[in-house]
Chain A
Amino acid sequence: MTPEQPKYKTSDEVDFVVVGSGAAGGIITKELSENGFRVVVLEQGPYLTEADFTHNEIKVLNEDLLTNHPKLQPNTFRKTPDEKAKPQRALVYGRLVGGTSVHFTANFWRFHEIDFVERSKVGPIAGTGFTDWPITYADLEPYYTKVEWEIGVSGLAGASPFDPPRSKPYPMPPLPTKCSGVIFEQAARKLGWHPFPAPMAILSQPRAGRSACINCGFCLAFGCEVGAKSSSLATAVRMAEKTGRCEIRPDSYVHRIELDGNGRATGAVYFDEQRNVHLQKAKAVVICANGAETPRLLLLSANKQFPNGLANSSGLVGKYLMLNSGGISMGVFDEPLNDYKGFAVSRILHDFYELDAQKVGFYGGGGMDARFDVTPINFALGSLPPGTPRWGKEFKATLAHNFTRTMEIFGHGTSLPLETNSFSLDPDLKDAWGLPALRMTYKDHPDDLKLANWLNARGLELLDAAGAKQKWNFPAQEQQFAVHLLGTCRMGNDPKTSVINSDHRTHDVKNLFLCDGSSLVTSGRGQPTMTIEALAFRAADRIRALAKRGELSS
């Protein structure tokens, strides 16, 4: 926490309240405060810093040091709307300053041109909400470039023949190539595929006062202790703080957006750490609370004017949830890879980004990467070949042999938007603050599962070409656990079929904006954070323009 942060009074009507300090909230806050606006960020989680991060798997993975806590914030799950949802942990997100960007893998490819116009290209898909975005790749391109240069992405421009056009190369070369990357690259080329260095939001060189990656090996799910991972915490939040106009207020759990009699947002109501309730007044509100908590906050903010939830005249708040389909294949090799060293991913390929539905028999497409992202404990508990004894001499021997010799092929792909897949308020379960808990309803579209199995088969094909001594994967299963939280307040031109317009402004409330994974119209092929951040840069530009034109003041 920097000393130059202002302390705004809650009664002081600041220019913007931003709810959430993650991938989108951090960038919007940075952009607005750098442009002269006074911003208060209400972040439900604590303000931890690099010195607080640890390699302790119990703290991080089992006790949710960085993430939403299932005891404080329980949720329920069901597959279809006609079922009664049962308590079951169904989602994880970063709950701290910097949000999920603190603990993510940092895979940072751009969406391709097709992602924004795919419905027009492939036609309608019955029973789904598959539709085009109101913006195109070209609209977003300058903002992807901003993310790469201002937040910090390592990569190699022009290395993939499938890459969309770009206005500038990456600011830094790719990270080192791991053994999994070498194996992946050589095998993929044997198969005629086009592997390339993974674009990663991790510094390959020191930059802007931050260290380059030291390859410590605790990356996915952990906070970076040297600030090399380009989280909002390490980047945008600190840039915002430097302006002297931004106050980051941690441990502030927003549970209602207030409206005045004219239907304008007047501020955000939140619990502080002692559970006292405050209203922070603001001229405009930007919610960046993620694809689960953003719709939940709107639903919690129902009032006389919006009995079904704030900004929910479309009835679509919380709906069209997409998680990204995918599957993992595992391979064991003769010699040590030591792939536990370093970040997770060094090689990817996009040969299967657009599959021909006529040929494969389903809609979809995906990317593939080579990775190792499991910690020693998780490896021992879940990454040994099927049939390995779970204890005893052979368990120990296999564990000792395989830990340094295993790699994963991760296929990540599309999820179709279904109206029945959603986040909503559970009618019975409450969180520790007495507020209705999140209820997740999710059942993969059959095509999503077919895609996952198809990608799994490619994973085995690649491991075969690589000469893996052992290889296996698991048949795709219906997903019941969400990491990517996408599509739940979708963007669109028609107020009847979308929640926000292409300026990220809600159709219903003029000075209320939403930007995070909830804004996405389609799922991309996984790795959504890069696009969420590009959207955030663009949204901030649009919001700034509206404010300068006086459209946000009453």
Chain B
Amino acid sequence: MDLNRRDFILRSCSRFTAVWLSAHWPALLSAASHARNAAQTPAAAKLGFFTPDEAKEIDALTARIIPSDGTPGAHEAGVVYFIDRALTSFAIDDQKTYREGLPDVQARTHELYPSLDKFSAATPEQQDDILRSLDAQTTAAANRRPNRPRAAGQTFFETLRTHTVVAFLLDPDAGGDPNGVGWKVIGREREHMFQPPFGYYDKNYPGWQPANTATDKTKS
């Protein structure tokens, strides 16, 4: 079996019948490869939506959402470039959120730290303070079923947070960061097929055996 997922996807593109699908797919792949190339050669990166100054701010913001600490973060995954492409393709509806949201971030920066006009100029600690003030929600989202709709009408920060996570964790072989930085961080192996044992707990599993009836309790 051919395990080259990228070829598989690209080959399958020609078979899509739905117009909206074929319209979006190349953009998505392009966003990903753009992000990769841009991450490798930042100076030469072309931006489609953000100005270079805006991109610098978005890069700084996403780098606090998924920071580069012991392991790579949003910056190394080229998240800003993915979002830039996304905003001219599949996330085009979110342009306004970014156009209005970014000035708000700068205003909040100035409000909290009057000597600063740009988020990117703040220290990491200051940046976290600014983000905390923007992040109204404090508890983890409960809307976690995979085929449940995600909440709509999100704030700029929530949109940015979601896009950062998407850019970081989208399957690297299906439109995500081709270097797979995010998957490495969370320990998600990149192979397209797996065989048991899958993890620690099934390593020495002897296989299913009928229960020892002596230990059975009465059923509820």
Q: How far is the CB of A383 from chain B (nearest CB, A)?
A: 5
Chain B's interface: helix, strand, loop or mixed, by majority?
A: loop
Most buried by B among A174, A193, A351: A193
Is A197's CB under 8 angstroms from B198's CB? no
Of the residues B15, B71, B90, B149, contact of A400 by C-beta under 8 Å:
B71
Query: Residue B147 contacts which of A53, A70, A483 (CB distance < 8 angstroms)?
Result: A483
Chain B residues packing against A (C-beta within 8 Å):
1, 5, 8-9, 11-12, 15-18, 21, 24-25, 28, 64-67, 69, 71, 73, 90, 128, 131, 135, 137-150, 161-162, 164-166, 168-171, 173-176, 182-183, 185-189, 192-196, 198-202, 205, 207-208, 210-211, 215-220
Q: Which residues on the A side are within 8 Å of B145 (C-beta)?
A: 382
Q: Are B66 and A189 in contact (CB under 8 A)?
A: no
* Residues of B contacting A214 in the complex (Cβ-Cβ under 8 angstroms): 192-194
Q: B176 — which chain A residues lie within 8 A by C-beta? A: 56
Question: How far does the alpha carbon of A319 sit from the alpha carbon of B99 in the complex, in Å?
Answer: 46
Residues A52 and B16 in contact, CB atoms below 8 Å apart: yes
> Is A63's beta carbon under 8 Å from chain B?
yes
- What DSSP secondary structure best describes chain A's contact surface? loop
In contact, B9 and A337 (Cβ under 8 angstroms): no
* Chain A proximity of B93: nearest CB distance (Å): 10
CB neighbours of B135 from chain A (8 A): 390-391
A to B CB contacts below 8 Å, 30 in the list: A52-B16, A55-B5, A56-B28, A56-B171, A57-B166, A59-B24, A89-B149, A156-B208, A177-B202, A177-B205, A178-B202, A193-B219, A194-B219, A215-B195, A215-B196, A220-B146, A220-B147, A335-B201, A338-B187, A339-B199, A340-B188, A341-B198, A351-B220, A378-B146, A390-B138, A391-B64, A391-B65, A396-B71, A400-B186, A403-B188
B residues within 8 A CB of A383? Answer: 144
The total of interchain contacts (Cβ-Cβ below 8 angstroms) comes to: 231
Q: What string of 1s and 0s marks CB contacts (under 8 Å) between A175-199 and chain B?
A: 0111101110100010111101100
Q: Which residue of A61, A196, A197, A251 contacts B146 across the interface (Cβ within 8 Å)?
A: A61
Q: Determine whether the beta carbon of A56 is less than 8 Å from that of B147.
A: no
Complex alpha-carbon distance, A386 and B21, angstroms: 36
Compute how far the CA of A49 lies from the CA of B25 in the bound complex, rounded to whole angstroms.
16
Contacts of A216 in B (CB 8 A): 192-194
Contact with A189, one of B15, B166, B215 (Cβ below 8 angstroms): B215
Q: How far is the CB of A404 from chain B (nearest CB, A)?
A: 4
Residues of A within 8 A of B161 (CB): 390-391
Alpha-carbon distance A400/B166, docked complex (angstroms): 15
Which residues of A lie under 8 Å from residue B71 when comparing CB positions? 396, 400
